[in-house]
Homo-oligomer: A and B are copies of this chain.
Amino acid sequence: MLTVFGSTALDTIRTPDRVLKDVLGGAATFAGISASFFVDTGLIAVVGSDFPKKYHNILRKHLDLKGLAVHKGKTFRYDGSYDETLSTRTTNKTELNVLGSFQPVVPDYYRKSKFVYLANNDPDQNTKILREFDKVKFSMCDTIEFWINSKRNSVIKMIGSVDAVVINDEEAKLLTKEHNLIKCAKKMMSWGAKYVIIKKGEHGSLLFFDDVIFPSVAFSLEDIVDPTGAGDSFAGAMIGYLASKNSTKLSDIKKAVVYGNVMGSFAVEKYGLAGLIGLSKAMIQKRIKKYHLMTDF
C-alpha cells in the first residue's frame, strides 16, 4: 500500500471565471485521490469538527481513513486567487486551525507501507514520521516556499532522508539558490535524494537520477480552468503507479512521471477535485495512449 501524509483543507479558490468557497482541497487530498486510481492508499491528515460529511464521503470513497484525525476546532483553510492567465496564484489567507497543533500518528496498519509520500508539511515532521514506518522501499517528499523560507535547513535534512524529491521549478531555484534546473537537481542529489523530479507546470517536468535526465512534456490542454492541486495530483500518480508495480526501476519511474503528467492534466480541466473524482481507470489509460501518440516522432 501507499501512505500519504499531508494537508486536507477547505479551499477558497478564486479564478477569473468562478469562486469556489470552502471546497475540499489540500495537498494530501489531491495526491491521495490521484494515487488511489493505482493502489490502495492511506491518508494521514487532520480535519476539524466543521469538516462536512459530504467531503468525508469523498475521501472515504478513495482512501483508507484510519490515519485521518478529526479534532475539535476548524479545518485548515486556504484562500487563493489566480490571475487571468491562471499561471500566478496569490495567497489571500491561510488559517492553520487544527493543523497548527497536529501531531501525526502512523496507524499500525500503515506501518507496513513500502511507499510513503510526504506532501508539503513541516519538514521536521516529515523527517520524523518517516522513521515510524517499518520498511519503506520508496519515499518521496514535496516542499513549498513557506518551509524553504522558514526552515531551509530542515528542508535540506528532509531531502537527505527520502529517496525522491518532487518540487516546483521556482521552489527548486529558491531552495538551492541556483538558476539552472540541472544544477538545482544536482544540489538536491548532493543532499541525499536519489531521485529529483522538478515540476514545471504547463511545461512538464524533469526527472533526474545519477547522470540520467528525463525531460517530459505536459499533456497539452486548451481549456484549463483551475490549476489547484495539479502538482499534488502529479506526485500522487507518480508514487501510486510505482506502488502498484512495487517497483523503483528507472524505467518504471519514467513511466510514473508520464502518469504524473497525465493525472496533472485531468486535475486542471475542472474546478477543485472534480477533474480527479470523475475519472475511471479506462479514461486514464486512454489519455496515456494519447500522450504516447502526441509525443511520438
Contact = CB atoms under 8 A, between A and B. Distances in A.
Interface of A: 84-87, 179-183, 186, 200, 202-204, 206, 213-218, 220-224, 251, 254-255, 257-258, 294-295, 297
Contacts of A223: 180
A255 to B, nearest CB: 6
Chain copies in complex: 2
B179 A85 contact: yes
A49 to B, nearest CB: 41
9 contacts: A86-B179, A180-B222, A180-B224, A182-B220, A214-B295, A215-B217, A215-B220, A216-B295, A217-B217
B213 A297 contact: no
Contact of A214 (B86, B206, B294): B294
B206 A203 contact: no
A182 B217 contact: no
A218 B216 CA distance: 10
A172 to B, nearest CB: 13
Contacts of A258: 297
A286 B262 CA distance: 31
Contacts of A180: 222-224
Nearest to A222: B182
Contacts of A213: 220, 294
Nearest to A201: B203
Contacts of A294: 213-215
Contacts of A217: 204, 215-217
B200 A220 contact: no
Nearest to A85: B179
Nearest to A220: B213
A84 B173 CA distance: 13
Contacts of A216: 217, 295, 297
A238 to B, nearest CB: 13
Given A84-B179, A203-B203, A215-B220, 12 more contacts: A86-B179, A183-B222, A204-B215, A204-B217, A206-B220, A213-B294, A214-B295, A214-B297, A215-B218, A216-B297, A254-B297, A258-B297
B220 A295 contact: no
Contacts of A87: 179
A221 B223 CA distance: 31
A180 B201 CA distance: 13
Nearest to A255: B297
